[in-house]
Amino acid sequence: MVPESVIAATAGLEPPYAVLDLEAFRRNAADLAARANDVPIRVATKSVRCRHLLRMVVALPGYGGGLLASSLAEALWLAGAQGRDTEADADPVSRDIVVGYPSVDRSSLAALAADEVARTRLTLMIDDPAQLALLRQALDQAGPCETPVRVCLDVDASYRLGPAHLGARRSPIRTPEQAAELTDHVVADPRLLLDGVMFYDAQIAGIPDRPAGAAWAAPAVRLLKRTSALELASRRTAVIAAVSERLRHAGRPRLRFVNGGGTGSLEVVRRDAVLTELAAGSGLLAPTLFDGYRAFTPAPAAYFVLPVLRRPAPDLVTCAAGGFVASGPAGSDRLPTPVHPPGLALTAAEGAGEVQTPLRVQRGGRGASGEEALPTIGSAVWFRHAKAGELLEHFDALHLVRRGVRGGTLVDTVPTYRGELRSYG
């Protein structure tokens, strides 16, 4: 249910619009920090996509001030490399940014190679010597530089069970030997500095242990997650030992960080002494894909609101637009969910549409006893998105609401990435 104070605070706005419940957002941030148990959290920007919110989070206890960006272009923008000024240099989200994925964007690589300050703030992700070759080309063209480019090894954290592969299809680097070999490629070039190593355990962090509509699978899911966590902890220790030995032998600085985890696995991976920091972001907004975890219960913080345009049948209303379908394997769990007024559901035939979204009154739900109980034309319907961050690709602004004893207050309206004419989705 959407808090009534949040609904009341935005009653004067014209839908469609996006809303953030600040109380839920801060509660989720505190819960993530508690689950991390004093291990600093690096915030995944793709799950937020709003600089105002990023600034809020990195200043909170439990967050080390670092960001995990989705692309080098985004990281350069956050670091102030595009039109740097005093304000950008002072921005807390500009200081320590790891690019979470390798980059083959030649223009962005050239910008990084030519920018001394950006090289002190950004760390590139690599998992293949071919990526380093592109970076070296950019450095060759930029000429001599005093500050090396920092890079991070992305090590595959998936779980292999015979022919089965559980987890994200990410890095080809999996074994200590492979990580050590790639380390040798980095230390061979004095213009490069191996800054960290990353392990993203998608099969633990991103899979609910209470699958919606498949309760029978929950015990097997939990067993696989536990087994995967044990295997990864052992392999992670061996990988870091091998990389650290190659750095020591080459006389290069030790790793600055070892990153792991995600919103759904903080309480699991925090026990690993090898990790110096964790990563999270989705749990701040608490989209519907995080409703199925046993270890934590995030508070829904982000919503979008659509106007009712039509009433095509006694038990149907039609909203404008709404086709904000989440990425990932196609399925009903990737669709937005209507949450207010209660008793509404997407239709199986149309789902969430590009220009319209019909909603049916569920049997036994509100409106089932009479047509007059349905939302009226011009009224608002509230939805939750299936994934965090992706919602804000559809809205220029985010309305921030503070709940209070005497009701809610619309305290601010801030631009999203899209509102700042940026899109890195």
Render pLDDT for 72-119 as a digit per residue (tens, 0 to 9): 999 999 998 655 554 556 788 888 999 999 999 999 999 999 999 999
The pLDDT value recorded for residue 298 is 94
The pLDDT value recorded for residue 372 is 47
In terms of residues, how long is the chain? 425
CATH fold match for the domains 22-285 and 302-420: no
Q: What is the dihedral of CA 296, 299, 300, 302, to 10 degrees?
A: -110
Q: Which CATH architecture has domain 302-420?
A: Beta Barrel (2.40)
Q: Are 359 and 346 in contact (CB under 8 A)?
A: yes
181 or 362: whose pLDDT is higher?
181
Q: Which tokens go with 313?
A: 């049948």
Instruction: Tell me the pLDDT tens digit for each residue of 106-116.
Output: 999 999 999 99
* Token pair 């990580």 in the structure block, residue: 179
Q: Are 247 and 239 in contact (CB under 8 A)?
A: no
The pLDDT value recorded for residue 367 is 43
How many degrees, rounded to 5, is the angle at CA 406 between CA 23 and CA 388?
20
Amino acid identity, residue 156? D
Exposed e or buried b per residue across 305-332, where buried means at least 16 C-beta atoms within 10 angstroms of its C-beta = bbbbbeeeeebebbbbbbebbbeeeeee
CATH number of 22-285: 3.20.20.10
CA 236, CA 184: separation in Å to the nearest integer? 18
Q: Which tokens go with 388?
A: 């965090």
DSSP letters of 26-73?
HHHHHHHHHHHTTSPEEEEGGGT--HHHHHHHHTSTTEEEEEEES-HH
Judged against a pLDDT cut of 90, whether residue 318 lies above it is answered with yes
List the chain domain ranges. Answer: 22-285, 302-420
The pLDDT value recorded for residue 355 is 95
